[in-house]
Amino acid sequence: MIAKFKTLLVRKALLVGRALLVGRTLLGTALACGLLATPAWAVVPSTSLFEGMLLAANGGPVADGPYDVTVALYKDAQTPQSLWFETQTVIVSGGAFSLALGSETTLSPAVLANATLVGVTVGADPELPKTALRSALYAARVAVADAVACSACISVTQLAPALQQQASTVSKLADVAKSGLYGDLIGAPDATQYLKKTDIKTVATTGSYKDLSATPVVPTVGKSCGTGLVLAGFKADGSLDCVTGGAAVLGVDTIDDVSNQLIFNTFVDKTAGKTDAPIPDGLGAGVTDTLTFPSIGIAQKIWIEMALTNSDISGVKIELYGPSMLNPYVLYQGGKTGTAITASYNVDTPLVSGDMTADWVGKDIAGNWSITVKDLKAGGGSGGYDGKFNWSVNIQTLSSKKIQIKGDLVVDGDLTVGSSASMAPVYWAGTFNTFSYGNSAYFSGDNKANTAGIAPSAWQASGVLASMPDDIDTVRSVFNERRTMSTNSNVCAEMWRYNSNKEGRWCGALFRVKNTTGADVSWPLQFYYTAYQGWTQLASVTINGANNWSSNSDAWPNAQASVTLVVPKGRTSTIVVQAASSPGFGSSQRQSFLAFYNNSLKLPAGLQYVDDWESTNGTWK
């Protein structure tokens, strides 16, 4: 359907609007609703005048006779279900017709309070493009205000039901005045905190509100919702729409506003067409390029980016077809001078014809999109072509599943990603050698900076983990390979040829574990390891820098250790387990092995793995 709207007209106190609407078999002209002006104190009419004209395909009026016309009101362009509709059979004479909206189906103020668009259907044709609801229909809202006696007061019928239940009846007020007992009110709320020591008779007889102490706030139109409530708006019946907690409800896409433009849940996706598509010179059919836009989500905004160069853009025409469209949007149709077009159509540059927002916002735009560029003015090109263009289809979507954070993320406390039941815990592995036989020298000139703060020669001479310095960055020089673990994990299992006993190799695993209880928790660790006391190359274990265990004898691949660690309460601890290397089979082989078994990496109750080693600072002890 194609819709072209004419200027609104005012005739005989009626607000009248005309729209030219093209159907499959006939042309229909529907007029926006109008209401006769009436005195403010009169009863507001329950119907509204709607006029229009039906035109045949040749532009003249359709044949006289009856036609079915359906008028519907909608909340917005994104909501397909109408708030209200009715179908009437109108008698057309000379193409003209009129009908009274609300004569078949009641048109209530509650509907008008939420309606923003009106749609028209003629016969069995599809509904014509929706247009904005004009202000005349809103005159029916005067009925809501009729019961309000003045601008600063409201009657009991305008109060919320909960407040009405607290109101007294006239018959009972006499009892209160005589007895002085607040309980004589029907459904009396507890107002003890508001009363002075003097009895309530004073209030009942004088009517002076000041005789109450700690005066509560009474709901008043334009003033307040009452104690502990704030005004969010007005309901269809004129009553106050109040919310608790002193906070208004935010829109689903306003998180960027309240976060100082640091957090977003709206995302922009783009699909580009052919790069530098050539434009034929003077070819009436032009050149067409097609792209397929994927199914990303429901569009909040849609636009076309275009970058075009041509010897003379005054003769250029750009047409765009969306999925299943028979008639194109016209993006550009000459009229300007120059050699280039750079525009974002439907954002900073309006379309010549068509309404992409009405057609696609609130929908999935997935499908084939085609653009046709025509150079209708020949003579400026070279080799049959007169320019080139690049284009893309863009949409903005609102996500309920992800957010984007701009800037640094600072977290106080633990950061949990996803469900802990589905996330595999992690540890940090580290492996290093100490000596180069070919150069007869320790690696890095025996510099300790690259071996966790202990020089290679010191590791060779009975070095243990407890000797590492406090600084986390220094320890991270070795333990920097992030791995996921199971309850049994193999850290290293290697064998290599060697020439000197100085050619040691160390491998280890570092864990971060938090004790969430108020008492120390014991954690029994069981692991296979290698070490060789004869060459003073030791395996060791530490928690928070203590020398909890080290090997004191030669250990071969099947050597086992069982070490029970006491994890202190109320803190996150660092546990490191490291194996050295031992002689292997024959005199020219060595081996390095560290593996946890018997499900000992399954933490006892009260302990949990923490994934913060890459971000934590200070001391690991």
**Cα pseudo-dihedral 608, 610, 616, 619, rounded to 10:** 40
Q: How much is the average pLDDT of 505-524? A: 95
Domain stop point among 95, 123, 144: 144
- Residues 12 and 247: their CA atoms lie apart, in Å, by 46
Question: What pLDDT is recorded for position 421?
Answer: 43
Confidence (pTM): 0.39
Query: Going along 347-486, which residue ranges are E strands?
Result: 367-375, 385-398, 404-405, 426-433, 435-436, 441-442, 481-484
Q: Are residues 500 and 601 in the same domain?
A: yes
* pLDDT above 60: residue 142: no
Q: Is residue 48 part of a domain?
A: yes
Question: What pLDDT is recorded for position 289?
Answer: 95
- Residues 95 and 59: their CA atoms lie apart, in Å, by 11
Q: Are residues 474 and 567 in the same domain?
A: yes
* pLDDT tens figures, 559-596: 899 999 999 998 999 999 999 988 876 667 888 999 99
Across the chain, what does the average pLDDT equal?
79
- Residues 167 and 187: their CA atoms lie apart, in Å, by 8
Q: Is residue 407 part of a domain?
A: no
What is the pLDDT confidence band of residue 613, given thresholds at 50, 70 and 90? Answer: very high
What is the pLDDT confidence band of residue 223, given thresholds at 50, 70 and 90? Answer: low
How many folded domains does the chain comprise? 4
Q: Is residue 256 part of a domain?
A: no
* pLDDT tens figures, 441-495: 898 889 998 899 999 999 989 999 999 999 999 999 999 999 999 999 999 998 8
The mean-pLDDT minimum among 2-6, 274-278, 607-611 falls in: 2-6
Query: Residue 572's domain spans which residues?
Result: 426-609
Q: Is residue 416 part of a domain?
A: no
Name the most confidently modeled range: 42-56, 79-93, 98-112, 202-216.
79-93
Q: Is residue 408 part of a domain?
A: no
Supply 266's token pair. 């709206």
φ and ψ at residue 25, rounded to 5 degrees: -115, -15
Q: Are residues 433 and 556 in the same domain?
A: yes
Supply 206's token pair. 């004088």
CATH of the domain at 363: 2.60.120.260
Domain stop point among 379, 398, 417: 398
Kindly calculate the radius of gyration of the chain based on its CA atoms and give it in whole angstroms.
Answer: 40
Question: What pLDDT is recorded for position 420?
Answer: 44
Q: Which of 316, 362, 361, 319 is nearest to 335 (CA)?
A: 316
Q: Are residues 446 and 551 in the same domain?
A: yes
**Can you count the helices (H) and strands (E) in the chain?**
9, 37
Q: How much is the average pLDDT of 302-324? A: 94
Q: Are residues 356 and 504 in the same domain?
A: no
